[in-house]
Amino acid sequence: MSNTLFDKVWDSHVVRKIEGGPDVFFIDRHFIHEVTSPVAFLGLKTRGLKVLYPERTFATADHNTPTINQHLPVEDSLSANQLKALEDNSNEYGISHWGLGHQKNGIVHVVGPENGITFPGATIVCGDSHTSTHGAFGAIAFGIGTSEVEMVLSTQCIMQPKPKKMRININGTLGKAVTPKDVALFIISKLTTSGATGYFVEYAGDVFENMTMEGRMTVCNLSIEMGARGGMIAPDETTFAYLKGKPLSLKGDKWDEAVANWKTLKTDEGATFDKELTFNASDIEPMITYGTNPGMGMGISKHIPNAEAVEGGVATYKKSLEYMGYGENDSMIGKKVDYVFLGSCTNGRIEDFRAFASIIKGKKKADNITAWLVPGSHEVEALIKEEGILDIITEAGFVLRQPGCSACLAMNDDKVPAGKYAVSTSNRNFEGRQGPGSRTLLASPLVAAAAAVTGVVTDPRELL
């Protein structure tokens, strides 16, 4: 029988099927962070339950950590309290904990893969919707709520109905300055933010095959933004080469055995999907968003669509443009920018800093721009220094900050003020996402860099 990659991984993790209900679904790897786990631990305590497999859960602090002066006590008492709760709970239940200041600390979806915790064919969850990132390795990975965090801690399982299957094929060659972020924003602009709700997506075609693991992570990370629970890419030699020798990857014969097994993880010829979509790589240009959800994106050279041309409610669309201070038919090129944010689980990896550096090298930060460059982890930070990127950044007048989620969701002090515009490499442009009243333009690290040195929205193709 022909099976999809998704079927193979899903079906091999079903402990029990409930008639007319969800599957009892086994979780191989569980990540926790300070924001969505405290109430789950409280639940365990109230019920008197233990953590069933503490070695399958990994804790890292990221959501509300400061990105400067991490050696000092955290000033915000509520944030400090959550960080302390994560540490105390991890210690009490025997869970490995990479807290603030730990050399392995960083954004959960950056440190998981770079330490080899993520692996092909795994089932991975975290109380964070961007857990879909790990699908880049051929894993089924998705975000869960706090009640489910409690389920995984106490039983290593959650109750999940099996989603429907969608495949998105993109073949061809990507144009100049078109990055994995642009590919993802392009797909979301076509599907809208609810176009893949109820589905799990497999990305296929040579565009994804030719991507690095960092690029694949960016694409899978954004699966949730079109409503999909997650997205995945079949593991291949690129995947194995990335994972080989990572601190927690298997070693020796066990590694060889695992790779042999992972090579079977691909969609069989003749397997079917509930929905299949195909796009051409040559239709994608550097993207930018102009509205208040990630589906409101377009090629950077295009004009903002008329309300009548958009699917969905006209009132909602107009409210969105009004919030952004934009009009129908506006061109985005030349629009004023106040802040630039490079970072997040979407674009906080070494490749993203290389891309940013490729544009700003030899130029200067524009005077009107406040820039936050936030690496996804200490390991990314170390590579930035090792590869000489820090020198390029410093010479151009930028400052490198310390790892964390930072301005992506603005739980710490990295908040964009009301009314200001930020070109951001993160994942959501919702109203107030980067601070109350903030206005977000989602884009790639190249577009962010172009804005950072010119002070306005600029097509990066002109600077390369």
Of the ranges 37-45, 208-216, 340-348, 354-362, which one interacts with another protein (CB under 8 A)? 37-45
Tell me the helix, strand and coil percentages in the chain, rounded to 5. Answer: 40, 20, 45
For residue 236, give every residue at least 6 positions away whose Cβ sits within 8 Å of its Cβ, in sequence order, or none: 209
Closer to another protein by CB, 70 or 155: give it. 155
Closest CA to 160 of 303, 24, 361: 24
Least Å from the CB of residue 354 to another protein: 29
By CB under 8 A, the count of residues binding another protein is 78
Closest CA to 233 of 205, 257, 259: 205
Does 107 engage in binding with another protein (CB under 8 A)?
A: no
Least Å from the CB of residue 345 to another protein: 12
Least Å from the CB of residue 393 to another protein: 27
Buried b (16+ CB within 10 A) or exposed e, 370-387: ebbbbbbbbbbbebbeee
For residue 322, give every residue at least 6 positions away whose Cβ sits within 8 Å of its Cβ, in sequence order, or none: none
Closer to another protein by CB, 236 or 431: give it. 431
What stretches of 158-288 show up as alpha helix (H) in DSSP?
Answer: 180-191, 206-209, 213-221, 237-243, 252-262
Closer to another protein by CB, 128 or 351: give it. 128
Tell me the per-residue interface mask from 113 to 152 with another protein, x by CB under 8 A, - otherwise: ------x--x----xxx-x-----------xxxxxx-xx-
Least Å from the CB of residue 322 to another protein: 13
Of the ranges 65-73, 238-246, 307-315, 367-375, which one interacts with another protein (CB under 8 A)? 307-315
Least Å from the CB of residue 288 to another protein: 19
Strand-by-strand arrangement of the 14-17 sheet: 14-17, 23-26, 157-160
Site for another protein in 205-264 (CB under 8 A): 227, 229, 250, 257-258, 261
Site for another protein in 403-462 (CB under 8 A): 409-411, 418, 428, 430-433, 436-437
Closer to another protein by CB, 14 or 277: give it. 14
The helix (H) or strand (E) run that includes residue 392 is helix 389-395
- Identify the burial level of 313 via C-beta atoms within 10 angstroms of its C-beta, where 0-12 means exposed, 13-18 middle and 19 or more buried: exposed
Closer to another protein by CB, 312 or 334: give it. 312
- Out of 60, 65, 67, 79, the residue judged to bind another protein by CB under 8 A: 79
d(Cα 121, Cα 329) in Å, to the nearest integer?
45
Strand-by-strand arrangement of the 164-171 sheet: 230-232, 199-204, 164-171, 275-280
CB contact at 8 A, 408 and 341: yes
Closer to another protein by CB, 227 or 376: give it. 227
Does 319 engage in binding with another protein (CB under 8 A)?
A: yes
Q: What is the DSSP letter of 162?
A: P
- Computed on alpha carbons and rounded to an integer, the radius of gyration of the chain in Å comes to 21
- Out of 43, 54, 99, 175, the residue judged to bind another protein by CB under 8 A: 43
Tell me the per-residue interface mask from 384 to 403 with another protein, x by CB under 8 A, - otherwise: --------------------
- Out of 2, 16, 94, 251, the residue judged to bind another protein by CB under 8 A: 16
Site for another protein in 343-372 (CB under 8 A): none
